[in-house]
Amino acid sequence: MALERHLGCRPVETGPLDVVGVGNALVDVISLESDEFIGRHGLAKGSMELVDPERAVTLYGAMGTTIEQSGGSAANTLAALASLGGRGGFVGRVCDDQLGAVFAHDIKTVGIEFPIPPATSGQPTGRCLIVVTPDGERTMSTFLGAAGELDADDIDEALVARAEVTYLEGYLFDQAAAGEAFLRAADVAHRHDRKVALTLSDSFCVERFLGGFRELVAGTVDLLFGNESELCLLYETKDFEEALGRARVDCAMVAVTRGAAGSSVVTDSMRVDVPAVPVAKVVDTTGAGDFFAAGFLYGLTHGHDLETCARLGSLASSEVISHVGARPEASLAQMAVPILG
Amino acid sequence: MALERHLGCRPVETGPLDVVGVGNALVDVISLESDEFIGRHGLAKGSMELVDPERAVTLYGAMGTTIEQSGGSAANTLAALASLGGRGGFVGRVCDDQLGAVFAHDIKTVGIEFPIPPATSGQPTGRCLIVVTPDGERTMSTFLGAAGELDADDIDEALVARAEVTYLEGYLFDQAAAGEAFLRAADVAHRHDRKVALTLSDSFCVERFLGGFRELVAGTVDLLFGNESELCLLYETKDFEEALGRARVDCAMVAVTRGAAGSSVVTDSMRVDVPAVPVAKVVDTTGAGDFFAAGFLYGLTHGHDLETCARLGSLASSEVISHVGARPEASLAQMAVPILG
């Protein structure tokens, strides 16, 4: 299939980068379903669950008409960063198949470097089955496929060294080899005096790998992203302020989203609380955290103060939840003009 | 890829059908672009052009972030018919690849029979690169792939015989073997006292195959669908009333869409003009004609009068142009309650 092989071969830029993301290269398969669907198929609403091929087939078979669009948490963040005018790279694995070509096209066409070639053997490109309910909440069942085959050898030292921030997707902790890729990327970043950011990604994910996450956060992470419930789970407390206080001890910077309540950012010397940007209707929350991180990282790597970083995060987040799919539909740079001038 | 092979294997119903569609099985690849993009890539705005793999690669490479969703003109009609509560079947060809699995899933999950198994060799599943401009107009470049390999042997007599109407997609005229499939389907339908409907599909398409279309319309077609400009081209006149008058002589029934001006339906004894259903914003006109045909055919096969048929067509059309993509996002049956009670 020569057509597939040549898709998305737009040349990419070289030079310094704002962010390199390490994450799952996935194509989202999205359908709108009732709450009853969630119950009938034993899904945990709002969560991300890894599924095997059999479960993926059953669920997909039950889903109504779907839309396919590139996804993956860190990849969404990079795409949103690009829409703000940022420069980035993405490290993740796809297979040399049609969905892999879709993923590669969508990340490269917005100007993000994506240097790992598609695998010519092994599992097909991973996909995330996303059920969006009428309240805009998304429930995800991920068949990792090729994405799950990422390992430490995929971390390109030169690429990581070029980026001000190396951004790690917590979901990758589901795979042991990917965990090693994390550590290698973080090690390379630190050796080059770069910052390491981690997003906690998902409550269940935090619960499953509590020890590993705690160690990573305390020992390696400079900038921690997560939402309120993920942070509380990480520190095994119901008290958000306590969790935030403890995270502040572990990491130089912590940025936490709190849904409609906005976001809180702390460093050892500062705290900033920023309200959410209201939207007319929350259509699909997929990518809300990814886009917050994108706005925040764009601000941070462009010399803005913490409040501006958080406001850019809220703004980007408001864009992605107002439509189906986790890639920007509007120019985030244009939307950010009132903030950045 | 066991996963791909098992996708969309929901069991289908048997029994009488309202409509069997014969058309191109395509996955739409949609991006939002400026008018400048249309000019720069030499596209004819609002048209459908067939492209070879090289051109598809170039265009796709130039397109921004895309959404993938099942498409194909007649397949869209069948999906919309199903959303109205109608029963149908679809005859078209996909390859045994990921996009083929997407197409099969989306048509089967709404209850449409899709009996032709994916081809295990030959070209990949076809796709339609759709550029949507800010005015909501769509410009299509189609790489037919496996869809173009449809031939007369694919026409299943039993399936066609079960359907009240056999609906033929004019786009298929682009392929000689598919033209034979048309004739065979029409022949089978008539031998079983069924009706044959044709949609003209596209102005360029009508121009390219004027003689063939005229012969088909005059000799075989019972119910003709098209828009104003296609009908005028078919009869080589600028006068819509003249074209309509001549079509009325050729076919027992003619249903013509006129954009914002609504639609006109004529038989030998009647004429009905129905206004368009206004929409807040025309987002993407892809599928407007397909959905008009769906509403009309649903009405016709459920014993409604011509005015109701045309109103159902306008209603269905208003749904599809209010969002990106050519498959229903809302329940058309629910939307039709004020008309059907």
> What value does the mean pLDDT take over residues B87-98?
98
First to last CA, chain A: 47
Is the Cβ of B270 closer than 8 Å to some Cβ of chain A?
A: no
Q: Which of A284, A21, A290, A13 is nearest to A131 (CA)?
A: A284
Is the Cβ of B158 closer than 8 Å to some Cβ of chain A?
A: no
Query: For chain B, what percent of residues have pLDDT higher than 90?
Result: 89
Q: Taking CB atoms and an 8 Å limit, are B124 and A4 in contact across chains?
A: yes
- Measured in whole angstroms, the distance separating CA B330 from the mean position of its chain's CA atoms is 19
**Number of structural domains in chain A:** 1
Measure the CA–CA gap between A184 and A165, rounded to whole angstroms.
14
Helix axes A288-301, A73-83, angle to 10 degrees: 50
Q: Which of B110, B196, B158, B150 is nearest to B25 (CA)?
A: B150
Measure the CA–CA gap between B168 and B190, rounded to whole angstroms.
14
Q: Which of A190, A199, A258 is nearest to A219 (CA)?
A: A190
Q: Please, are residues A177 and A150 in contact by the beta-carbon 8 Å criterion?
A: yes
Would residue A259 count as lying in a domain?
yes
Is the Cβ of B148 closer than 8 Å to some Cβ of chain A?
A: no
Taking CB atoms and an 8 Å cutoff, what residues of chain A touch B109? 61, 63-65
Helix axes B210-219, B240-250, angle to 10 degrees: 50
Does the structure show a pLDDT above 80 at B10? no
Of A65, A98, A125, the CB nearest to B99: A98
Beta strands B223-227; B195-199: pairing state: parallel
Taking CB atoms and an 8 Å cutoff, what residues of chain A touch B328? 65
Residue of chain A minimizing CA distance to B53: A3
Would residue A84 count as lying in a domain?
yes
pLDDT digits (tens, 9 = 90+) for B258-302: 998 999 999 999 999 999 999 999 999 999 999 999 999 999 999
Q: Taking CB atoms and an 8 Å limit, are B32 and A329 in contact across chains?
A: yes
Would residue B56 count as lying in a domain?
no
Q: Taking CB atoms and an 8 Å limit, are A56 and B4 in contact across chains?
A: no
What's the confidence (pLDDT) of residue B7?
42
Q: Please, are residues B119 and B51 in contact by the beta-carbon 8 Å criterion?
A: no
Residue of chain A minimizing CA distance to B64: A109
Read out DSSP for B283-296? ---TTHHHHHHHHH
Is residue B242 very low, low, confident or very high in pLDDT (cuts 50, 70, 90)?
very high
| SS3 call for B279 | coil
Interface test with A, best of B6, B55, B68 (most A CBs within 10 A): B68
Place of tokens 């899904």: A43
Taking CB atoms and an 8 Å cutoff, what residues of chain B touch A32? 329
Assign residue B310 the CATH number of its domain: 3.40.1190.20
Q: List all residues 6 or more positions away from A238 whose beta carbon is below 8 Å from its beta carbon.
A: A232
Measure the CA–CA gap between A141 and A44, rounded to whole angstroms.
10
Q: Which domain holds residue A322?
A: 2-25+71-121+144-340
Taking CB atoms and an 8 Å cutoff, what residues of chain A touch B64? 109-110
pLDDT digits (tens, 9 = 90+) for B203-229: 988 998 899 999 999 999 999 999 999
Would residue B207 count as lying in a domain?
yes
Residue of chain B minimizing CA distance to A64: B109
Is the Cβ of A97 closer than 8 Å to some Cβ of chain B?
A: yes
**β-bridge mates for residue B113, sequence order:** B89
Does the structure show a pLDDT above 70 at B70? yes
What's the confidence (pLDDT) of residue B172?
87
Measure the CA–CA gap between B60 and B28, rounded to whole angstroms.
12
Q: List all residues 6 or more positions away from B39 whose beta carbon is below 8 Å from its beta carbon.
A: none
Q: List all residues 6 or more positions away from A219 whose beta carbon is below 8 Å from its beta carbon.
A: none
What's the confidence (pLDDT) of residue A226?
97
Read out DSSP for B188-241? HHHHTT-EEEEE---HHHHHHTHHHHHHHHHHT-SEEEEEHHHHHHHTT-S-HH
Per-residue pLDDT tens digits of chain A, which is 341 residues long: 344 444 433 444 579 999 999 999 999 999 999 999 999 999 999 999 999 999 999 999 999 999 999 999 999 999 999 999 999 999 999 999 999 999 999 999 999 999 999 999 999 999 999 999 999 999 999 999 999 999 999 999 999 999 999 999 998 887 888 889 999 999 999 999 999 999 999 898 899 889 999 999 999 999 999 999 999 999 999 999 999 999 999 999 999 999 989 999 999 999 999 999 999 999 999 999 999 999 999 999 999 999 999 999 999 999 999 999 999 999 999 999 999 98
Burial class (CB in 10 A: 0-12, 13-18, 19+), A283: middle
Hey, what are B247's tokens? 């079509």
Compute φ and ψ for A333, nearest 5 degrees.
-60, -40
Does the structure show a pLDDT above 90 at B92? yes
Residue of chain A minimizing CA distance to B30: A69
What's the confidence (pLDDT) of residue B174?
75
Q: Please, are residues A220 and A250 in contact by the beta-carbon 8 Å criterion?
A: no
SS3 sequence, chain A?
A: CHHHHHCCCCCCCCCCEEEEEECCCEEEEEEECCHHHHHHCCCCCCCEEECCHHHHHHHHHHCCCCEEEECCHHHHHHHHHHHCCCCEEEECCCECCHHHHHHHHHHHHCCCECCCCCECCCCCCEEEEEEECCCCCEEEEEECHHHHHCCHHHCCHHHHHHEEEEEEEHHHHHCHHHHHHHHHHHHHHHHCCCEEEEECCCHHHHHHCHHHHHHHHHHCCCEEEEEHHHHHHHCCCCCHHHHHHHHHHHCCEEEEECHHHCEEEEECCCEEEECCCCCCCCCCCCCHHHHHHHHHHHHHHCCCCHHHHHHHHHHHHHHHCCCCCCCCCCCHHHHCHHHHC
Does the structure show a pLDDT above 60 at B115? yes
Is the Cβ of B323 closer than 8 Å to some Cβ of chain A?
A: no
Q: Please, are residues A316 and A274 in contact by the beta-carbon 8 Å criterion?
A: no
Q: List all residues 6 or more positions away from A15 whose beta carbon is below 8 Å from its beta carbon.
A: A87, A162
* The residue type at A215: E
Beta strands B253-257; B263-267: pairing state: antiparallel
Would residue A46 count as lying in a domain?
no
Taking CB atoms and an 8 Å cutoff, what residues of chain A touch B1? 97, 124
Is the Cβ of B94 closer than 8 Å to some Cβ of chain A?
A: no
Would residue A16 count as lying in a domain?
yes
- Measured in whole angstroms, the distance separating CA A191 from the mean position of its chain's CA atoms is 24
Interface test with B, best of A12, A30, A55, A67 (most B CBs within 10 A): A67
Q: How far is CA A138 from CA A25, A79, A132, A201, in A?
A: 18, 20, 5, 14
Query: For chain A, what percent of residues have pLDDT higher than 70?
Result: 96
Would residue B248 count as lying in a domain?
yes
Q: How close, in Å, is residue A18 to chain B by CA atoms? A: 21
Measure the CA–CA gap between B65 and B53, rounded to whole angstroms.
20
Place of tokens 């910052």: A195
Q: How close, in Å, is residue A158 to chain B by CA atoms? A: 26
Our CA angle for B129, B203, B311, nearest 5°, is 90
Q: Which of A221, A249, A227, A222 is nearest to A240 (CA)?
A: A227
Is the Cβ of B263 closer than 8 Å to some Cβ of chain A?
A: no
Q: Taking CB atoms and an 8 Å limit, are A67 and B65 in contact across chains?
A: no
**β-bridge mates for residue B70, sequence order:** B27
Q: Taking CB atoms and an 8 Å limit, are A109 and B63 in contact across chains?
A: yes
Measure the CA–CA gap between B148 and B72, rounded to whole angstroms.
12
Taking CB atoms and an 8 Å cutoff, what residues of chain A touch B68? 67-69, 102
pLDDT digits (tens, 9 = 90+) for A76-98: 999 999 999 999 999 999 999 99
Would residue B48 count as lying in a domain?
no
Hey, what are B124's tokens? 């990949």
Compute φ and ψ for B224, nearest 5 degrees.
-105, 130
Q: How far is CA A156 from CA A23, A92, A153, in A?
A: 14, 11, 8
**β-bridge mates for residue B269, sequence order:** none
